[in-house]
Amino acid sequence: MGNILVTRSSMPSFEEYCEEIRKLWDSHWLTNMGAEHRELQRQLEEYFGCPHVVLYTNGHLALENVIAAMDFPKGGEVITTPFTFASTTHAIVRNGLTPVFCDVNHKDYTMDVEKIEALITEKTVAIVPVHVYGNLCDVDAIGAIAKKHGLKVIYDAAHAFAVKYRGVSSACFGDASMFSFHATKVFNTIEGGAVCFSEDSLTETLNDMKNFGIRGPESVVYVGGNAKMNEFQAAMGICNLRHLDAEIAKRGRVAARYREHLEGVPGIRLCRPQKDVEPNYAYFPAVFDGFGATRDQVFEALRCEGITARKYFYPLTNAFECYRDLPTAGLEKTPIAAFLADRVLTLPMYADLAMEDVDRICGIILSLRKG
């Protein structure tokens, strides 16, 4: 039996991608917001139902730039979650801001809205919540808290492409939402990302930031960097967007098969489907608590059989060496996140994962059950 990776990138056929990039050999326009870039931006604005989409070469720079575009005062505090990838916290700190870590809830592992207001001080400038595994944050409650206290909300929506809440895209909540189009995501442009928002004035600022501040051949108005999505990335996105619904449906069947085996097993906790949310089946997390085998033992048993699972997210960002000296860090301040980080394992999940492989993965896990 072959090895099974935790994920595998969705790709169009070789022929379809070659046909999409064929025109690049005619134009020789490979970057700097060419025809493919502009077309993908247009398609995503239509897909999300969002007024503005600015494309980036990766999700991290998209998040870092949109935080910078808000022009928060240096030293301001941003309420966020440590149950996330390193990028979220790094983007805050690299903007001269201080992350204040809010715990997550046990239900869907997103920011615990009951704990946000206690963290708000006179220095608080924004909330950066994270949609986790495709689970959406409580956008209604977060929006109400932000409005009450005059705070900006920037969602890290890296996991939430194609997710909808009451028919509205995840791109349309808060002041802005950042998506990652990394190769491991439900929708990918090889590497890539985007910022989605409704405020017209942000468009020019974000385009300045990602293109050296250049507005014309002899005009540089902003101290920007280089974070442009190239034409090959955009072409991959155009192709993948055509097949997205089918890919998500396949992922849904994989998730259902996992649930057939693991739902209700003592010591294994699975996320329940969220009410009024149309999911994308981005990840399949399982929390091992009282199972008889620890998360690490399950991880090792799968590894020995050539199956890669992922301790995602572990360690928490507030336990990183680079943040241990922050006065706002410390695992004791986020006990539920710490509990989950020690017990969660994301199992292999991708559209083409064979049902017999899901059966095999679950068989290995269940063979470790004691009692």
For residue 166, give the CATH number of its domain: 3.40.640.10
- Specify whether 233 is located in the same domain as 317: no
- Specify whether 182 is located in the same domain as 236: yes
Residue where a domain terminates, one of 242, 260, 288: 242
Q: Which domain holds residue 138?
A: 14-242
Q: Cα(228)–Cα(74) distance, rounded to whole angstroms?
A: 26
The answer to whether residue 2 is domain-embedded is no
Give the model confidence (pLDDT) of 10-58 as tens digits: 999 999 999 999 999 999 999 999 999 999 999 999 999 999 999 999 9
- Specify whether 213 is located in the same domain as 358: no
Of residues 328, 348, 283, 296, the one with CA closest to residue 130? 283
The answer to whether residue 4 is domain-embedded is no
- Specify whether 40 is located in the same domain as 118: yes
Q: Give me the CATH number covering residue 266.
A: 3.90.1150.10
Mean pLDDT of 83-100: 98
The answer to whether residue 3 is domain-embedded is no
Give the model confidence (pLDDT) of 312-350 as tens digits: 999 999 999 999 889 888 899 999 999 999 999 999 999
Question: What confidence category does residue 2 fall into, taking pLDDT thresholds of 50, 70 and 90?
Answer: confident
> What local confidence, expressed as pLDDT, does residue 1 receive?
61
What does DSSP assign to residue 289? S
Q: Cα(311)–Cα(178) distance, rounded to whole angstroms?
A: 23
- Specify whether 301 is located in the same domain as 268: yes
Residue where a domain terminates, one of 205, 223, 242: 242
Give the model confidence (pLDDT) of 121-169 as tens digits: 999 999 999 999 999 999 999 999 999 999 999 999 999 999 999 999 9
> What local confidence, expressed as pLDDT, does residue 340 receive?
98
Q: Where are the alpha helices (DSSP H) in the chain?
A: 14-21, 24-27, 35-48, 59-69, 86-93, 139-149, 201-210, 231-242, 244-262, 295-304, 335-341, 355-367
The answer to whether residue 6 is domain-embedded is no
- Specify whether 227 is located in the same domain as 359: no
- Specify whether 109 is located in the same domain as 215: yes
The answer to whether residue 9 is domain-embedded is no
The answer to whether residue 22 is domain-embedded is yes
pLDDT at 370 over 80: no
- Specify whether 179 is located in the same domain as 253: no
Instruction: Output the average pLDDT for the chain.
Output: 97
- Determine the longest span between alpha carbons in the chain, in angstroms: 74
- Specify whether 342 is located in the same domain as 210: no
For the chain, what's the residue count?
A: 371
Share of the chain above pLDDT 70, in %: 99
- Specify whether 116 is located in the same domain as 234: yes
- Specify whether 229 is located in the same domain as 98: yes
The first and second tokens of residue 115, run together, are: 């704990």
